[in-house]
Structure 1
Amino acid sequence: MPRPRLTSAFRLGAAAAAALLLAGLAPAASAAAAPAAPVPRLDWRSCVPDFDCARATVPMDYRDPAGRTVELAVIRHPATDRAHRIGSLFFNPGGPGVPGTQALPAVYGMFPEQVRERFDIVSFDPRGIGASTTLDCFPDAAAEQQLLAGLPAGYPVGAAQESAWSATYARFGRQCADTDRTGLLAHLSTADTARDLDLLRAAVGDRRLSYLGTSYGSYLGTTYANLFPDRVRALVLDSAPDPVAWSTGRGPGQRALPPFLRTGGDLAATRTLDAFLDQCGDAGPAACAFAADGGPAATRAKFDELIDRLGRTPVTLGTAPQTVTFDQASAVSSTVLPMLYTAAPLPGVPGFGWPALGGLLQQLWTAAPDASAPLPTGGALRQAQTLGTLCADTANPPASSYPAAAALARDRAGATGPYWVWQTQRCTGWPAEAARDRYTGPWDRPTSAPILVVGLTGDPAWPYEGSRALADTLARGRLLTVDGYGHTALGNPSACAWQYEERYLVSGALPPAGTVCEPDHRPF
């Protein structure tokens, strides 16, 4: 059985990816000092059914807008009611590393009818990602996997694996630096992408930006709002991190922690996992296959025993050649965590929802131990498309501190904790010049319109506390709460939340302060 995956629209882009360093670019001063970049011309042509595609040429370095350029792949669905069209709504699905040109066609039907009627919905592959100009560190996928071949597929366990992980990703960073002939590596930050977004806004003829960003896309929207505060029309930021904790870690005891521990991703994941196990136990085996006799407490104990068993002897699921071997690290990090992101089953989309997670865990529980099975090794393909932005954006502690951070994460968050540490450790060996364009604040610049932040109380990746902190930090933020589980309201539908988002995007009207919505469906 292939390892379950989320579609590009619903990944954190890596519940699973992130990390970074220190230093800042004062964007307002830089924008004033540099000449204006030319607005790209978009030559729209029909591509996938009902969508148009174009290429946009933008500066590689906004300090030198007449210098080298990069190409952006752009996609749109025209407003269905042209007579009442408001403008364009830009959409970023998250990541970083998720191509908007793939995500928008996949989720377009989930946008409310009035939004589809009144807006051209536009997305793009950010620089460094997908069909846009990318950082190609390896000649092909085989060469990349050759470098990563000795690594565990989940996260390292024990001193030998931890040392190999650190050394391998240091080589990965050097490889990217050695093969970067254009200087792109120094210009892949979220601030660079926000400047690209502003040029695309001008290219479609909008005076101010209308935008929906989910997960990492909310951080992009936050950055845009503070770089271009007078160009905000309506921004919906769905499932957001605390921007101060993410970008700098400035705060008591935060600077020494890796980024996801600073934002509380490990704690959010274990809270959501506990909620899944409790609700699975309450629902019973008829609704959740992994439920144990004895209810929630017995189901939690069953999960702990499963993780312990997998740590001692792996199991294999599937039929050759489509087999996957699960050990403790790969089962938790590569499978369990992403499957927490979508709580209720999605109609017509198999493999999503907590019942599907219960089914997988029960398969692991009943599978025969397979001590001879080789553990999964290697890594995700084209990791530079994620690391290019992640490693540009935030501060990481020294590589030598990560084993202790992983131990802390395990102590406070259990088996899911170390995953959040080692994903960002990959950036400790990333070239320092990547931080050149990093934006580190301020995050509270007064904007031309208020901004709507949407947060789920049971988000397993960006905890609800992050969305609340962002709404409090923004000069004109308003928090809309969804009292439910999963990552992003887009991936966990709430008609109530969408009604408020639709009204805000169309008319600018905010929900009343303190508004709480319910999801459309509960997991069991």
Structure 2
Amino acid sequence: MPMPPVRGLIAGRRRRTAVIAVLVTCPAILTGPGIASAGGAPTPSVPAPHLDWSRCVPGSEFDCATAKVPLDYDDPGGRTIELAVVKRRATDPGRRIGTLFFNPGGPGGPGTVQMPQNYDAFPSEVRERFDIVSWDPRGVGSSTAVNCFANSEEASDWSANHAAGFPVGEKERAAFIAAYKDLSRRCEQRAPGLLRHVSTADTARDLDRLRRAVGDRQLTYQGISYGTILGATYANMFPDKVRAMVLDSNWDPQAWTNHALDDEPRLTSFLRMGSDRSAAATVDQFLTLCGSASTGRCAFSAGGPEATREKFDRLLQRLRKHPVGSWTYAGTVADVVNSLYVVHPGWTQLAGRLQDLWQGRVPEPPAFPPAPAVPDPNPYVGEEQGAAVLCGDSPNPRDPGVYHALEKASATRAGDAGRFWTWATEGCASWPTAAADRYSGPWNKPTAHPVLVVGTRYDPSTPYSASQAMAKELADARLLTLDGHGHTALLNPSRCVKDHESRYLIDGTLPPVGTTCRQDTPPFSAPKPTGGVTTGGGWMAGILA
């Protein structure tokens, strides 16, 4: 299936993601006039990489560079690998504060594509005051990448040899399991050394080297989806280097590590976190709001919430026996979950595809934004890239035979979405390596400055409860709630959230305890007026003025 709008930002996406690459899915005093020192650890033995910036392509507003870092930080003089890095300069250079590093999630999200693609989603105040920098993490995209196929034809053939979405029936389950065993075998043959050194901890060390390379004495960071685990890992590995950190649509750290237990995990990573239940609740919201709207606003509406739910159930039952073209039951469920990530225009487009299927028509494929002006706007981002991180870092059952039983249990509590999320990590059952340097806690080391955690109530991937858990696990964090829908506040805009994030990133002002914001435009409705907050003041105002 094609990638979602942000090309793999999380956890999920429009292709079948055995290991989720939404949009998911994880990210000091800074250079500039009047900046005061805030301490820091001794100079690391590994020097900062040199970044030779130049325009990504002629006429582009983005600059690109390549950073060299050690493959193995325990052997800093050994093999090096390359990181592809991208930057958009602050639009008000006279008032520039420093650099905001951004990770678009996944694992497996290529920042060199997704940051330019979503640059306009950052608050204007942040774009004015910060250079915004992202990168393809080690193992991903245009960096030194995990690639388990000799060519694109091999990769396409492999993708075509197992069910889209998840397997249905004994025959498909056997083929599905065999396909991911084959992927593991290919990866073990082609990239055994790299596979062991693409952990979140490795990437956190890369991030710290990039921070030093741009001259910032502390880190300003925004991470979404998987980027929140990267941010939390950095915050606990380099706690004195945290200047400001926004973690949006969070992974529960304890769910990521299986509570740091050594025994065989009983549940998959996503079932531990509750992605299945959160997705089910978001599907129910989609059907409720669609049914409450006219067909002019939601094409799939059946005139009421209950009637629309019944229509959806009947459609899926029909697709089990009679696919419409290549649109199978499982593939449609996967499309539904992935399409809930971005409310506008995702929910409206999803409703149109469901109505096409209801009427027996093959839907038009989802539309994606144009590729940004970077050297490689479509790097190879195969499933094995996200798998190398997720399977190496986050424990999942190693017995392929347990996934069918887990699927049935999850379907009992979460319906069709439970089947999707159960099988999302089956590729980890046969994955050939574990991370050589895996961070499994603690998560509560005191940081130099507090962290801002943002959670959305109805998220089809990272549940609100996971953001609550992140805020509780970190030593000093404040939870900002988005009472809305979709995966990440960044891609489902709220002026209220943007204003709070801007104040925090610019001068360190946290929102009041218990603050709740709403989305600017609810699903299937016209825009509503929104209020915001002003910037100024706060505990960073003096040193960042």
Q: Do they fold alike, i.e. is TM over 0.5?
A: yes
Aligned residues: 482
- The answer (yes or no) to whether the contact 1:278–1:300 under 8 Å persists in 2 is yes
* Alignment-derived partner of residue 417 in structure 1: 418
Alignment-mate amino acid for residue 483 of structure 1 = D
Structure 1 residues 102 and 381, CA gap change in structure 2 (3 angstroms): closer
1: CA distance between counterparts of 2:10 and 2:508?
Answer: 28
- Which residue is 1:364 aligned to? 357
Aligned: 1:248 with 2:258: yes
Q: Does the 8 A contact of 2:165 with 2:331 survive in 1? A: yes
Aligned partners of 1:249 and 1:255 also within 8 Å: no
Corresponding position: 1:354 with 2:347? yes
2:7 and 2:150 map into 1 onto residues whose CA distance is: 28
Task: Establish whether residue 54 from structure 1 lines up as the match of residue 49 from structure 2.
Answer: no
Greater RCO between the two (CA within 8 Å, min separation 6)?
1
Would the aligned equivalents of 1:457 and 1:483 in 2 still touch at CA under 8 Å? yes
**Aligned pair 1:156/2:167, yes or no?**
yes
Letter in 2 for 1:238: D
> Which residue of structure 2 aligns with residue 394 of structure 1?
394
Q: Say if 2:292 is the partner of 1:282.
A: yes
Distance 1:486 1:176 in 2: 33
Answer yes or no: is 1:301 the counterpart of 2:310: yes
The one-letter code of the counterpart of 2:315 is L
Q: CA separation of 1:250/1:204 partners in 2, compared to 1, >3 Å: closer, same or farther?
A: closer
Residue 14, structure 1, aligned to residue 15, structure 2: no
Query: Does the 8 A contact of 1:19 with 1:259 survive in 2?
Result: no
Tell me if the contact between 1:265 and 1:462 (Cα under 8 Å) persists in the aligned partners. Answer: yes
Per the alignment, residue 177 of structure 1 pairs with 188
C-alpha distance in 2, partners of 1:298/1:307?
Answer: 14
Contact conserved, 1:406 with 1:421, CA < 8 A, in 2? yes
CA drift of 1:5 comes to 4.9
State how far apart, in whole Å, the 2-side matches of 1:118 and 1:202 are: 19
In the TM superposition, residue 141 of structure 1 has moved relative to its aligned partner by 1.7
Quote the residue 2:499 is aligned against: 499
For 1:92, the equivalent position in structure 2 comes to 103
- Counting only pairs closer than 5 Å after superposition, residues 474-489 of structure 1 correspond to structure 2 as 474-489=474-489
Match of 2:121? 110
Alpha-carbon contact 1:154-1:330 (below 8 Å) kept: yes
Alignment partner, residue 236 of structure 1: 246
Contact 1:9 1:107 (C-alpha < 8 Å) held by counterparts? no
CA distance in structure 2 between the partners assigned to 1:18 and 1:211 by the alignment: 25
Secondary structure at the residue paired with 2:330?
A: helix
In the other structure, the counterpart of 2:231 is 221
CA distance in 2, matches of 1:523, 1:208: 39
Shift of 1:254: 10
Supply the distance in 1 between the matched residues of 2:297 and 2:436 (Cα, whole angstroms). 51
Deviates more, 1:105-114 or 1:242-251: 242-251
Summarize the alignment of residues 296-445 of structure 1 with structure 2, pairs less than 5 Å apart: 296-316=305-325, 325-333=326-334, 335-343=335-343, 345=344, 352-367=345-360, 382-397=382-397, 398-432=399-433, 434-445=434-445
Distance 2:333 2:297 in 1: 22
Match of 2:149 among 100, 122, 138: 138
Distance 1:185 1:426 in 2: 14
CA drift of 1:137 comes to: 1.4
Contact 1:9-1:106 within 8 A present in 2 as well: no
**Deviations 1:211-261 (CA, angstroms, capped at 9, x unpaired):** 01111111111111111111000000000011101222469x993011111
Q: Does the 8 Å contact 1:10/1:341 carry over to 2?
A: no
Shift, 1:286, TM fit? 2.4
Quote how far apart the aligned CAs of 1:11 are: 3.8
Deviation at 1:168, TM superposition (A): 2.0
Greater percentage in helix: 1
- The gaps in structure 1 that reach 5 residues or longer are 21-31, 317-324, 346-351, 371-379
For 2:127, what is the secondary structure of its paired residue? helix
Query: Which amino acid letter does the alignment assign opposite residue 502 of structure 1?
Result: S
Deviation at 1:148, TM superposition (A): 4.2
For 2:381 and 2:83, the matched residues in 1 are separated by 21
Q: Tell me the residue number matched to 2:25.
A: none
Residues 312 and 355 of structure 1, relative CA distance in 2, 3 Å threshold: same
Task: Give the drift of 1:381.
Answer: 6.5
Q: Which of 191, 195, 209 is the aligned partner of 2:201?
A: 191
Which residue matches 2:269? Answer: 259
Residues 260 and 440, structure 2, Cα contact 8 Å, conserved in 1? no
What secondary structure is seen at the aligned counterpart in 2 of 1:134? coil
> More displaced, 78-87 or 61-70?
78-87
TM-score by length of 2: 0.85
Q: Kindly tell me: are residues 284 and 19 of structure 1, through their superposed partners in 2, closer, same or farther at Cα, counting changes over 3 Å? A: closer
Please, which moves more after superposition, 469-478 or 170-179?
170-179
- Is the CA contact 1:17–1:390 (under 8 Å) kept in the aligned structure 2? no
| CA gap 1:249/1:256 in 2 versus in 1, 3 angstroms | farther
Note the alpha carbon deviations across 1:37-65, whole angstroms, 9 max, x for none. 12100000111411111000000001111
Letter in 2 for 1:385: Q
Distance 2:484 2:11 in 1: 21
Q: Per-residue deviation at 1:383?
A: 1.7
Q: Give distance in 2, aligned partners of 1:484 and 1:100.
A: 26
Q: Report the alpha carbon displacement of residue 6 of structure 1 after superposing the two structures with TM.
A: 2.3
**What whole-Å deviation, never above 9, does each CA across 1:60-100 have from its counterpart, x for those lacking one?**
00111111111000010111222221110001111111111
Change (3 A) 1:435 1:7: same
The one-letter code matched in structure 1 to 2:508 is G
CA distance in 2, matches of 1:520, 1:369: 32
Provide the residue aligned with 1:322 in structure 2. none
Preserved contact between residue 342 and residue 492 of structure 1 (Cα < 8 Å): yes
Query: Given the alignment, which residue of 17, 31, 38 partners 2:47?
Result: 38
| Separation in structure 2 between the aligned mates of residue 174 and residue 327 of structure 1, nearest angstrom | 28
* Change beyond 3 A, Cα 1:149–1:287: closer
Could you state the TM-score of these two structures normalised by the residue count of structure 1?
0.88
Q: CA deviation at 1:17?
A: 5.5
Q: Which amino acid aligns with 2:164?
A: A
The separation in 2 between residues aligned to 1:235 and 1:416, in whole angstroms, is 31
| C-alpha deviation, 1:287, in angstroms | 1.5
Residues 19, 427 of structure 1: 8 Å contact kept: no
Bigger drift between 258-267 and 162-171 goes to: 162-171
- Give 1:167 shift: 2.2
CA contact (8 A) 2:101 2:220 kept: yes
Residues 13 and 94 in structure 1, CA contact (< 8 A), matched pair in contact too: yes
Partner of 1:375: none
Structure 1 residues 130, 381: closer, same or farther in 2, change over 3 A?
closer
Q: Report how far residue 145 of structure 1 moved.
A: 3.1
Equivalent position SS for 2:45 = coil
Map Cα deviations across residues 339-396 of structure 1 (whole Å, 9 max, x no partner).
11112x2xxxxxx2322211111000001699xxxxxxxxx96222211111111111
- Structure 1 residues 75-90: aligned runs within 5 Å: 75-90=86-101
Q: After TM superposition, give the deviation of residue 411 of structure 1 in Å.
A: 1.4
Alpha-carbon shift at residue 423 of structure 1 (Å): 1.5
The alignment partner of 2:461 has SS state of: coil
Distance in 1 of aligned mates of 2:138 and 2:462: 24
| 1:38 counterpart SS class | coil
- Structure 1 residues 129-176: Cα deviation after superposition (integer angstroms, max 9, x where no partner): 111001221111212333443211221112222122212211211211
Unaligned runs of 5+ in 2: 22-40, 364-379, 525-545
Mark the CA change 1:312 to 1:78 in structure 2 (over 3 Å): closer, same or farther.
same
- Contact in 2 for aligned 1:245/1:254 (Cα 8 Å): no
CA distance in 2, matches of 1:290, 1:273: 13
